[in-house]
Amino acid sequence: MQVFSILLPLAMIFVLSGILCGACKKLHLPFVVGELLAGILLGLLRLIPGQTIITSFTEGGLAFFAKIGVILIMFSAGLGTDIKMVKQTGKAAVIVTLLGVAAPIIFGFLVACLFLNHGFAGLTASKAVSYFFYGVILTATSVSVTVATLKEMGKLNGKVGTTIVTAAILDDIIGVILLSFAAGLGGEGGNVGIVILKTVIFFAVAIPLGFLLRWLFKKLSAKGLPKDFLKVLGVALAFLYAYAAEEFCGVADITGAFFIGLMLSGTEEAKEIDSFTSTLCLFFLPVFFANIGITTQFSAIDTGILLFGVCYAAVGLLSKVIGCGSGALLCRFSLRESAAVGVGMMVRAEVLLICAEKGIQSGMVDANIMPFILAIILISSLITPVILKVMVGKHPAPILASAEGSLTGDIPASGEIAAAGDPLSDPQEDVSSGDASQEAASETESKE
């Protein structure tokens, strides 16, 4: 096959993704849904005898671009993480996050044991690690749909909104670490000691080096180096951290990319780098999501897989509601507020796909689960706005009420959160919307 043969499927992905993403925008669905559907439709080309568009060669090329895309999206997620916001919100978001992570892991593990192992009898260490991975996949949260819904109702900066946004930030951090741990267990044959040792070594090196690089970026920026150079250097560091994490420590490459983004977050330089990364994502991310749709197989699903998949999807949706809602109840939220927090944290999108793809690549997760992963994304994206409008819409909340119930002038930049969940959003528009929110908060304080 000639190298240029990859150009036709790439062009088809971009055109079809653009059309379907436009439709998703009108339906208030995440763009990821349109890109996945584009991939599924292109995957149907395999059914045409003698077609030369989707071949093993072009699939390999698409997989290469998809790999770069997933590194970029995790790097961007790290850059957009607001650590200060976590500190300001208090313990409520921490408790919501911890229970919201624990519940999916437990329920996911139990469902996998019951359906794939027919119970706990004969449960080996390797199977336990695999089933644990099924639970880890369900910990992912993408609240872009929730943020958009709450913003539309003017409740984003209320008690429920700030808790959801902050818990989503913590959820990303914990989820990425758990994903690396689970992937490491698979790679080391379930040797927990070796996995923990390698993980500790990675963070022992990555943290001080990250602070050094953060300081270096500020110095280079102060010396007047071209911004374009700093942008390219930031992306280069993401690739280096991703490579070093996987190659030397057995930690997932996406963890390395996310972590260096996290270390650079909160600086002026990070905003420039994130803007550049978002531009790159316009090319690579449609390929990543479409590639998942292209490689998703529906023909191998039998009755057993179907039953397991339906239960797995149901548990994936309900476990977040139960876990996060219970955490909110423990923090003395009302029953309605707790339910709203649980529903708001239920939405899944790109992070869920990344976790599932990592599990399939490591051989610990059955590839036939992917259609049900797509179902979780679609169902949660459709029902969450409807439920939230019923629960929150007719019940006014203080505009500046934090998760602890006190007034604060520090409002989360909703555009940044939306950008983390929706990498195709306009970075300039996101920054301006965040600034506008902060200005509104300052005006409110002055009046008070």
Full 3-state SS string of 396-433: CCCCCECCCCCECCCCCCHHHHHHHHCCCCCHHHHHHH
**Token couple for 158:** 């209320």
The pLDDT score that the predictor gives to residue 119 is 86
What is the rounded average pLDDT of the residues 333-354?
90
The pLDDT score that the predictor gives to residue 394 is 56
Task: Indicate whether 18 pLDDT > 80.
Answer: yes
Q: Does domain 3-447 have CATH number 1.20.1530.20?
A: yes
Phi, psi angles (nearest 5°) of residue 397: -125, 155
* Other beta carbons less than 10 A from residue 194's beta carbon: 15
Cβ atoms of residues 39 and 293 within 8 Å: yes
pLDDT tens figures, 243-264: 999 888 888 888 899 999 999 9
The pLDDT score that the predictor gives to residue 85 is 75
pLDDT tens figures, 271-289: 899 999 999 999 998 999 9
**Token couple for 92:** 């409520």
Which DSSP letter does residue 23 get?
H
Q: What's the pLDDT band for 190 if we cut at 50, 70, 90?
A: low
Q: What's the pLDDT band for 1 if we cut at 50, 70, 90?
A: low
Domain segments of the chain as ranges: 3-447
Cβ atoms of residues 260 and 267 within 8 Å: no
Cβ atoms of residues 4 and 11 within 8 Å: no
Which DSSP letter does residue 120 get?
S
**Token couple for 63:** 């997989």
Share of residues in the chain with pLDDT > 70 (%): 86
**Token couple for 430:** 């996101």
Contact residues for 15 (Cβ-Cβ < 8 A; gap 6+): none
Cβ atoms of residues 47 and 324 within 8 Å: no
- Name residue 393's amino acid: G
Cα gap 34→65, rounded to integer Å: 18
The pLDDT score that the predictor gives to residue 395 is 52
Lowest mean pLDDT across 71-75, 95-99, 309-313, 403-407: 403-407
